[in-house]
């Protein structure tokens, strides 16, 4: 027999595969028909929008994989602010342990306390990080579920990048060294959410977004990308490639030994083991992005994190220290549902008598209006939801949902919740209804039970993602009119000042101010011409009235 028994077995295998595949397709079609004709299918307009139940599930999984990195990244960034942890945590330990020595030397509690080395402060930070992981997850669950069920749109929500960095490094500052206390800053986030909700209810969001010059809107997105990339290149929350220098401010680092106080390199430039591991993660993510692999952003984080979880190596996230051992004991639980302890309800409005707080509110509102509104319109256009006027079905409800999600997030301890541009991954998979967003919410809910794993993602695993997020945000630069200097110079100033002054607000203020100054002459001339034209028209009208009066016959006496 030609081909022998192997050919027969091969044909049988192919036949079994085709049979199984056909059975699966028939079962899938039956499920899709059942859902489409059910009350659920009719509510979500599955057939009307030419979708199916299984397609919506696949779209939700794709969106979740693409944006799941925010769980660890957002927690890492916001924990840098110190959260509700303060020097008081450090003082309490020193008062209890060294009270006799302090009385003998007349020392002041908390002075000279090294927060990085203090066990009590680090314990508070660890709890805060777990809190923010849960706050991030819950905000994403609430926001995405509401977007799917209330607005019936396949758009997922989570705490946004950019606003979290501004909060951690500009408003509160690293470990609370900024101008605004954590509780007051959270109050500013909640107030911003309330203002954003009011603008949404009144229908003013789109109008407010259009008031900002287009070049500044585009430059703000790119500038925030540069800011995130700069953060990801540093050692505190990234790969450590860039470090401080006394002579040039910043320089090449990735050192094997650094000064614990200044962060300057002591020896071994480009010899940091964690940097080279982070470089591998960066390459993995970049290759996946270039090949358009779904969930690209999370693969590099997973690779680096898995390697860093092994103890006894130079790249371990669990060093043989008190903090490392404590983190490892919690990590071994694997599954644990963490109850928020430190961050929930930590909101204060008592410090709103300073200009710094109101600057924070305005800046957060500005970024929220531009980022969320712009992203939502672009994704609606991509998904084919927009009408001839540029609006889309469910627009009003969608605006209310994402504004309300920010209020919920601030109450839990996280920053502005926004509609994620990563939702385009689900749109590419064919997601067209709210079932996609509800699937994302369900997957985020499942992740809430794995906080021991999520809270032990090292900064050198997160850093590459920050750099690549910054790279993706730079695509907005191509839309700026660089040949027009009145638009190009303010845009460039906006972008460059954000990373160089380590302040998103500084870049926005400088860009808007310079744009207004450069257009001042044109605006003055325009007003003058309008006034002159109006006076001319009034003069002509008066002449016509006078001429008409002269043509009238004299009134008889």
**pLDDT one-digit tens code per residue, 431-451:** 899 999 999 999 999 999 988
Range 87-105 average pLDDT: 45
pLDDT on residue 109: 38
Write the pLDDT tens digit of every residue in 165-210.
889 988 999 888 899 999 999 999 999 999 999 998 998 877 776 6
Q: How confident is the model at residue 415 (pLDDT cuts 50, 70, 90)?
A: very high
For residue 527, pLDDT over 90 is answered with no
Distances (CA, A) of 428 to 31, 56, 63, 382: 22, 11, 10, 9
Whole-angstrom Cα distance, residue 463 to residue 65? Answer: 18
Of 143, 130, 145, 70, nearest in space to 413 by CA: 130
pLDDT on residue 107: 35
Q: How confident is the model at residue 11 (pLDDT cuts 50, 70, 90)?
A: low
For residue 9, pLDDT over 80 is answered with no
Enumerate residues 6+ apart whose C-beta is below 8 A from 216. 490, 491, 494, 508, 511, 512, 515
Q: Are 269 and 252 in contact (CB under 8 A)?
A: yes
Which two three-digit tokens encode residue 151?
Answer: 């607005």
Q: Which of 79-83, 156-160, 476-480 has the lowest mean pLDDT?
A: 476-480
Number of H helices, E strands in the chain: 23, 6
Range 135-141 average pLDDT: 96
Whole-angstrom Cα distance, residue 236 to residue 80? Answer: 8
Range 537-550 average pLDDT: 68
Longest pairwise C-alpha distance within the chain? 132
Q: In the chain, pLDDT over 90 holds for what percent of residues? A: 32
For residue 391, pLDDT over 80 is answered with no
Write the pLDDT tens digit of every residue in 480-522.
899 999 999 999 998 999 888 877 778 888 888 899 899 888 7
For residue 25, pLDDT over 70 is answered with yes
Which two three-digit tokens encode residue 473?
Answer: 């945000």
Q: How confident is the model at residue 5 (pLDDT cuts 50, 70, 90)?
A: low
Write the pLDDT tens digit of every residue in 324-383.
888 898 899 899 888 998 999 999 998 898 889 999 999 888 878 776 776 787 677 667
């Amino acid at each position: 027999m030609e081909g022998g028994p192997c050919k027969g077995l091969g044909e049988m295998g192919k036949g079994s595969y085709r049979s199984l595949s056909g059975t699966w397709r028939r079962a899938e079609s039956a499920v899709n028909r059942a859902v489409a004709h059910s009350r659920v299918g009719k509510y979500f307009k599955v057939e009307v929008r030419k979708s199916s139940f299984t397609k919506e599930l696949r779209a939700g999984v794709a969106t979740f994989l693409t944006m799941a990195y925010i769980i660890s990244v957002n927690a890492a960034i916001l924990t840098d602010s110190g959260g509700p942890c303060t020097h008081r945590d450090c003082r309490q330990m020193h008062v209890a342990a060294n009270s006799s020595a302090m009385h003998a030397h007349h020392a002041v509690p908390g002075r000279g306390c090294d927060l990085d080395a203090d066990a009590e402060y680090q314990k508070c930070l660890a709890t805060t990080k777990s809190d923010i992981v849960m706050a991030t997850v819950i905000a994403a669950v609430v926001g995405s579920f509401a977007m799917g069920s209330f607005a019936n749109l396949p758009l997922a929500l989570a705490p946004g990048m950019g606003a979290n960095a501004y909060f951690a490094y500009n408003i509160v500052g690293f470990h609370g060294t900024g101008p605004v206390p954590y509780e007051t800053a959270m109050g500013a986030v909640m107030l911003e959410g309330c203002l954003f909700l009011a603008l949404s209810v009144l229908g003013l969001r789109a109008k407010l977004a259009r008031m900002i010059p287009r070049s500044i809107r585009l430059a703000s997105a790119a500038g925030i990308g540069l800011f995130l990339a700069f953060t990801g290149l540093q050692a505190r929350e990234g790969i450590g490639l860039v470090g401080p220098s006394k002579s040039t401010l910043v320089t090449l680092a990735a050192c094997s030994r650094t000064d614990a106080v200044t962060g300057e390199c002591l020896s071994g430039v480009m010899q940091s083991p964690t940097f080279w591991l982070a470089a591998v993660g960066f390459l993995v993510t970049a290759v996946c992005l270039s090949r358009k692999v779904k969930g690209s952003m999370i693969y590099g984080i997973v690779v680096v994190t898995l390697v860093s979880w092994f103890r006894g190596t130079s790249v371990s996230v669990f060093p043989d220290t008190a903090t490392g051992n404590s983190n490892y004991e919690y990590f071994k639980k694997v599954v644990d549902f963490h109850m928020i302890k430190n961050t929930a309800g930590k909101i204060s409005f008592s410090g709103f008598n300073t200009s710094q707080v109101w600057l924070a509110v305005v800046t957060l509102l500005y970024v929220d209006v531009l980022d969320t509104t712009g992203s939502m319109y672009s994704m609606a256009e991509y998904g084919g939801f927009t009408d001839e006027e540029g609006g889309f079905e469910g627009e009003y409800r969608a605006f209310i949902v994402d504004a309300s999600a920010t209020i919920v997030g601030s109450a839990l301890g996280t920053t502005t919740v926004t509609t994620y541009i990563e939702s385009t991954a689900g749109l590419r998979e064919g997601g067209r209804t709210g079932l996609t967003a509800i699937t994302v919410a369900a997957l985020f809910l499942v992740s809430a039970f794995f906080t021991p794993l999520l809270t032990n993602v090292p900064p050198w695993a997160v850093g590459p993602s920050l750099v690549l997020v910054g790279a993706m945000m730079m695509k907005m630069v191509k839309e700026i009119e660089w040949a027009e200097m009145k638009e190009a110079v303010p845009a460039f100033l906006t972008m460059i000042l954000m990373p160089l002054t380590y302040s998103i607000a500084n870049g926005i203020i400088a860009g808007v101010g310079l744009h207004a100054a450069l257009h001042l002459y044109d605006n003055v001339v325009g007003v003058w011409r309008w006034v002159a034209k109006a006076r001319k028209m009034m003069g002509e009208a008066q002449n016509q009235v006078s001429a008409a009066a002269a043509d009238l016959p004299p009134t008889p006496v």
